Structure 1
């Protein structure tokens, strides 16, 4: 009787572990097969952000909302890198801290350096760069 219960417990345990692996594989497939007709603006950041980090995120979001408000093919996505939910995206774009990445399928550009150089003192320069990179990928 005890052996039967042990075998039953182990069977349930292994089935549960296997279903968790399947779910993780499905999540990975979702990221790998992202809609290539969409332009995604990813703003990656950690839990604590400095003034410039906040300015980059706010300006990118504002630029996208104001310029592409009626366009369902352009999305601003803010990602907290400490959130395990986004681990696959963080790994895909090799983000270690903060980043501003514009992507359409596998076509992506990392404008983090320009974003941090201009967000506070030259916001129009950054806004124009974001629009330029998004427009390259819309068509």
Structure 2
């Protein structure tokens, strides 16, 4: 019986990760997406990059929404938030530069990469305030130096 419970829990976990790329964004989100060419970020600047694929689950969409909001609210335009689709040419190039291969949320400065992808997936939907606080916590020391 215990083995059955573990197997079912394992299967549920695998299916939840597998579903991450199986839902297309809603029409509303596509209409709200910013269509702005991003200027390059200087190496000494702090930037938050969110990498995603074309098809995204609700958690992936929440990561972008919560992260963008945190950067905007805490840093009032002084920190860049850039979302890249890794299935498009510019997104694939940036992902290669930053050395990510799939969905990722990273904070960059001077070539230093702070990867908070795991925390983003754990908290974007269930505890967005925790994700926002983490983003602020990780960026503050980078701003000061």
Q: State the superposition RMSD in angstroms.
A: 1.7
Q: Deviations over 1:102-139 (max 9, x none)?
A: 00121110100010001111111110000011112111
Aligned to 1:65: 72
- Judged with a 3 Å threshold, the aligned counterparts in structure 2 of structure 1 residues 93 and 70 are, in CA distance, closer, same or farther, namely closer
1:88 to 2:106 alignment = no
Unmatched tracts of structure 2, length 5 or more: 1-39
Q: How many equivalent residue pairs?
A: 106
> Which segments of structure 1 move beyond 6 Å, counting only runs of 4 or more?
none
1:47 to 2:47 alignment = no
Q: With CA pairs under 8 Å and 6+ residues apart, which has the higher RCO, 1 or 2? A: 1
Structure-2-length-normalised TM-score: 0.68
Q: Deviations over 1:29-73 (max 9, x none)?
A: xx7xx52321110000000100000000000000111111152xx
Larger Rg: 1
Aligned to 2:83: 78
1:100 to 2:83 alignment = no
